[in-house]
């Protein structure tokens, strides 16, 4: 388990009276997006751009971002789309959103310099001179004489930021600031083995395969977006289905990829030290941005090759989950996965999502006889509950989380009991859950249930004194 602390929160926005300059074209004049051939797709993109700008003008940033995300998934490679998105966000003061939405998709050769100029201004506004210099170097490499004066001016602005900590004429944006005079300290926790295997180290390679793993992959805790029909609703508490999804899904994916010789996985979840409420499970209100990804890479021994991030939202009884896979070398998004389900369809849809992710990443199992043979759980929803509770008990046992914040145990044990027989990892999970709950003195009354007959299960029971 690895820990690192950082300050984090929703980026505050610059004053609407002091917005970024309007997007500029190569000659330094206001940009005019290139005209695409008129067709149904183009008209649809244009109408969504107009609708998103209207939401920005109405101060409905979440609504605008939802439109942008949907549009960029299919039209994010169009230069006119990127320059309009970056320009509208900048003109309405939403600088941090430019960086989160546009930077991962920007390619100077394909998309031209205008979006790059907007990105540089955004990085200057959030006081990130290194990122601004990186984009500036890319634009210089285009060897466009008509850009030189503008680029030299931006180079001077970067030098001013480095020397003085600010740039005259640009608003200051504190990208990691919470409410005024209040900050939340975040402990990010990386779990490098299946969460149910901690405490069973004596079983060694009988349950966990160990061999050279060429690719390092991380699965980050999901952000929980507010429902569009009630954006002011309070964040969910521990044990809420969305919280279970936010932590259980990365734990499940990391567990399954541990049983592939191609990957060395970690799950990244977080706790928050709130000045008012003390330590509690972290709720991310927005998807992880590039700054978060870089810190995760820097804090992971050996670095990372791929990172999965994502978000979940529940509305009118339907849950929607979005996952993104990032290639770390270029910090570029490679693929998106989206799934929607109700309580009745959750197991089917989550199983399908799990299959899609493994197929895209070319997951392959270890040869037979190398640790446990991996088998997906027959009831993913119940499995996520068990993993989420396993994490909470593990953290409470390590004194990293107050025991009072562990979700109610009885509902999870009751739901999990019929599924604890197969596969063997389910039986091991049942045993480590019981052991940790007993050690913390919060174990509910439990009847004996039939567990898997795999020899490792018997040895685990003996090792745990159960």
pLDDT digits (tens, 9 = 90+) for 198-245: 999 999 999 999 877 899 999 999 999 876 555 556 778 888 999 999
CA distances from 197 to 191, 208, 390 (A): 11, 8, 10
| CA dist 45 → 37, 42, 92, 390 (Å) | 12, 5, 20, 45
Q: In 423-447, which positions are buried (b, 16+ CB within 10 angstroms) versus exposed (e)?
A: bbbbbbbbbbbbbbbeeeeebeebe
Give the C-alpha separation, 333 to 308, whole Å.
Answer: 10
What's the pLDDT score for residue 4? 28
- Rounded Cα distance, 348 and 46, in Å: 36
pLDDT at site 230? 59
CB 264 within 8 A of CB 213: yes
Interval 126-157: pLDDT, tens: 788 888 888 998 998 888 888 887 888 888 88
Please, where are the H alpha helices in 165-301?
Answer: 241-258, 290-299
pLDDT tens for 306-347 read 999 999 999 889 999 999 999 998 888 899 999 999 999 999
Distance CA 108, CA 102 (A): 12
pLDDT band at 75; cut points 50, 70, 90: confident
- pLDDT over 90 percentage in the chain: 45
Give the separation between CA 200 and CA 110, rounded to whole angstroms: 52
What are the structural domains, with CATH classification, of the chain? 10-164 (1.25.40), 185-464 (no CATH)
The DSSP-derived string for 64-90 is HHHHHHHHHHHHTT-HHHHHHHHHHHH
From the number of C-beta atoms within 10 Å of its C-beta (0-12, 13-18, 19+), residue 94 rates as buried
For position 15, what pLDDT does the model report?
Answer: 31
Cα(420)–Cα(428) distance, integer angstroms: 8
If you average pLDDT over residues 375-386, what whole number do you get? 96
Which of 189, 196, 192, 199 lies closest to 221 in space, CA to CA? 189
pLDDT of residue 192: 93
Nearest to 1 by CA among 400, 309, 371: 400
Q: How confident is the model at residue 164 (pLDDT cuts 50, 70, 90)?
A: low
**pLDDT in the model for residue 169:** 46
**Which residues contact residue 4 at a Cβ distance below 8 angstroms, ignoring those fewer than 6 apart?**
187, 188, 295, 299
Q: 406-462: per-residue pLDDT in tens?
A: 999 999 999 999 999 999 999 999 999 999 999 999 999 998 999 999 999 999 999
């Amino acid at each position: 388990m690895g820990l690192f602390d950082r300050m984090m929160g929703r980026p505050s926005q610059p004053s609407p009276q002091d917005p970024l300059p309007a997007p500029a074209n190569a000659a330094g004049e206001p940009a005019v997006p290139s005209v695409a051939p008129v067709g149904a797709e183009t008209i649809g993109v244009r109408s969504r751009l107009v609708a998103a700008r209207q939401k920005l003008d109405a101060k409905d940033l979440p609504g605008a971002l939802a439109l942008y995300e949907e549009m960029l998934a299919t039209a994010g490679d169009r230069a006119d789309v990127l320059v309009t998105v970056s320009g509208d966000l900048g003109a309405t003061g939403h600088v941090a959103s430019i960086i989160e939405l546009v930077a991962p998709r920007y390619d100077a050769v394909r998309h031209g310099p205008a979006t790059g100029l907007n990105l540089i201004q955004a990085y200057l506004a959030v006081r990130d001179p290194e990122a601004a210099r990186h984009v500036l170097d890319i634009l210089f490499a285009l060897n466009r004489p008509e850009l030189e004066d503008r680029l030299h001016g931006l180079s001077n602005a970067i030098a001013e930021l480095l020397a003085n900590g600010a740039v005259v004429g640009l608003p200051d944006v504190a990208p990691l600031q919470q409410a005024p005079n209040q900050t939340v300290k975040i402990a990010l926790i990386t779990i490098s083995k299946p969460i149910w295997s901690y405490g069973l180290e004596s079983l060694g390679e009988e349950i966990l395969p160990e061999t050279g793993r060429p690719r390092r992959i991380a699965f980050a805790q999901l952000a929980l977006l507010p429902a569009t029909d009630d954006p002011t609703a309070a964040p969910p508490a521990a044990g809420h289905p969305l919280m279970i999804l936010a932590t259980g899904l990365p734990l499940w994916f990391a567990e399954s990829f541990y049983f592939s010789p191609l990957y060395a996985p970690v799950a990244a979840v977080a706790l928050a030290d709130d000045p008012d409420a003390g330590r509690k499970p972290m709720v991310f209100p927005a998807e992880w941005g590039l700054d978060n990804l870089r810190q995760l890479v820097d804090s992971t021994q050996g670095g990372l090759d791929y990172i999965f991030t994502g978000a979940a939202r529940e509305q009118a009884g339907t849950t929607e989950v979005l996952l993104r896979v990032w290639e770390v070398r270029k910090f570029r998004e490679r693929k998106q996965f989206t799934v929607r389900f109700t309580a009745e369809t959750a197991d089917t849809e989550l199983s399908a999502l799990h299959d899609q992710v493994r197929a895209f990443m070319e997951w392959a199992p270890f040869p037979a006889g190398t640790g446990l043979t991996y088998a997906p759980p027959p009831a993913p929803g119940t499995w996520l509950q068990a993993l989420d509770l396993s994490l909470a008990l593990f953290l409470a046992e390590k004194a990293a989380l107050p025991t009072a914040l562990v979700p109610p145990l009885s509902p999870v044990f009751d739901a999990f009991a019929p599924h604890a027989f197969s596969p063997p990892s389910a039986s091991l999970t049942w045993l480590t859950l019981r052991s940790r709950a007993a050690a913390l003195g919060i174990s509910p009354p439990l009847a004996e249930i039939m567990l898997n007959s795999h020899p490792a299960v018997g040895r685990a029971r003996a090792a745990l004194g159960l």
